[in-house]
Each structure stands twice: as structure tokens, then as C-alpha cells.
Amino acid sequence: MRIALAADELTGVAEAVPELLRGRGHETVLHGAYADGERPDWAWASEAAARDVAEGRADQAVVACWTGTGASIAANKVPGIRAALCGDAQTAEGARRWNDANVLALSLRATSEAELEEILEAWFSSGASAADDDVANVDHLDEIERSR
């Protein structure tokens, strides 16, 4: 799978994320602090990674900033993106299953390397639910987006 990856600084678990993704067999597309010549600020870096997903250059994205909140907000401004800020494996699994989230947002401050591994395992081993109510909710998100 091709994963767009963005962080605004290389602190906390930021340096572990690309290594863990590659170790899982994913190809990474780097943005922000990971990429020379790109603006590293969370809004710009997260937008770039989210656009990769929305425009088909990546299957999913992982975005990160100090709290993860700004990265999540920036990614969610891109049409077609459903970014979820996940601080534990259960939240990551639920975001994939019930929300068909396509961008994982992480806190560089609050995520330990052990939690990071658990979150990535849950995220990448889960998929979108086919249950009628879950599909209807995700479809409604698309309707909300189109009505803007």
C-alpha cells in the first residue's frame, strides 16, 4: 500500500513512523518535516498528505503534529478525507471499521512507540464495515461534503 506521511517536526514518534510503515511493506510518500524543500508546518504538511489520498497518489495517509489535532483538522479540510485522531488501537480499529477513515492522525507528544505499533497494527488490519448502518453513515458524510 502507498501511504502519504506528514509531520511538522521530527520529534516524539515521528522518526519511528516511516520505519514501521516500511517494515509493514508499505511505500511512503513523504511531506512536511520528512521532505526537503517542503513547508513543514502542520497545516501545509497534512494538507499535502491528504491531497495525495484524495487525488489517488496514495491509498491512505498518516499525519502528525504535537497534539495531532491540527494535523487532523487540516487533513479533514480536503474533500474526500476522513481523518481520525487516534491515541489507542481500539480507536484506530473503530475509525477504520465504522468511519471508513482514510487518514490516521497521531500526536507526537502523547503517542509512545509501543502505542504507535499497536495503533498501526489495528489501523492496517481493519477495513470498512459493510453493515448497512455504517455504510449509510459514511455515505451521509459524502452528502454533507457535497452540500457545502
pLDDT the model gives residue 43: 98
- Per-residue pLDDT of 46-67, as tens digits, reads 999 999 999 999 999 999 999 9
- Per-residue pLDDT of 25-40, as tens digits, reads 999 999 999 999 999 9
In this predicted structure, the answer to whether residue 70 has a pLDDT above a threshold of 90 is: yes
- Per-residue pLDDT of 89-131, as tens digits, reads 999 999 999 999 999 999 999 999 999 999 999 999 999 999 9
Cell of 113: 512507540
Distance separating alpha carbons of residues 105 and 135, to the nearest angstrom: 22
Distance separating alpha carbons of residues 39 and 32, to the nearest angstrom: 6
In this predicted structure, the answer to whether residue 72 has a pLDDT above a threshold of 80 is: yes
pLDDT the model gives residue 39: 96
In this predicted structure, the answer to whether residue 148 has a pLDDT above a threshold of 80 is: no
Distance separating alpha carbons of residues 22 and 66, to the nearest angstrom: 23
Q: Is residue 65 annotated as part of the catalytic site, yes or no? A: yes
Distance separating alpha carbons of residues 3 and 118, to the nearest angstrom: 17
3-state SS assignment for residue 87: coil
Sequence spans of domains, the chain:
2-146
Which letter does DSSP use for residue 93 in this model? Answer: H
pLDDT the model gives residue 23: 97
pLDDT the model gives residue 28: 98
pLDDT the model gives residue 106: 98
In this predicted structure, the answer to whether residue 10 has a pLDDT above a threshold of 80 is: yes
Please compute, for residue 5, the number of CA atoms within 13 A of its CA located in the half-sphere on the CB side: 24
Superfamily of domain 2-146: Sugar-phosphate isomerase, RpiB/LacA/LacB (3.40.1400.10)
% of the chain exceeding 70 in pLDDT:
100
User: Of these residues, 21, 50, 65, 83, which one is catalytic?
Assistant: 65
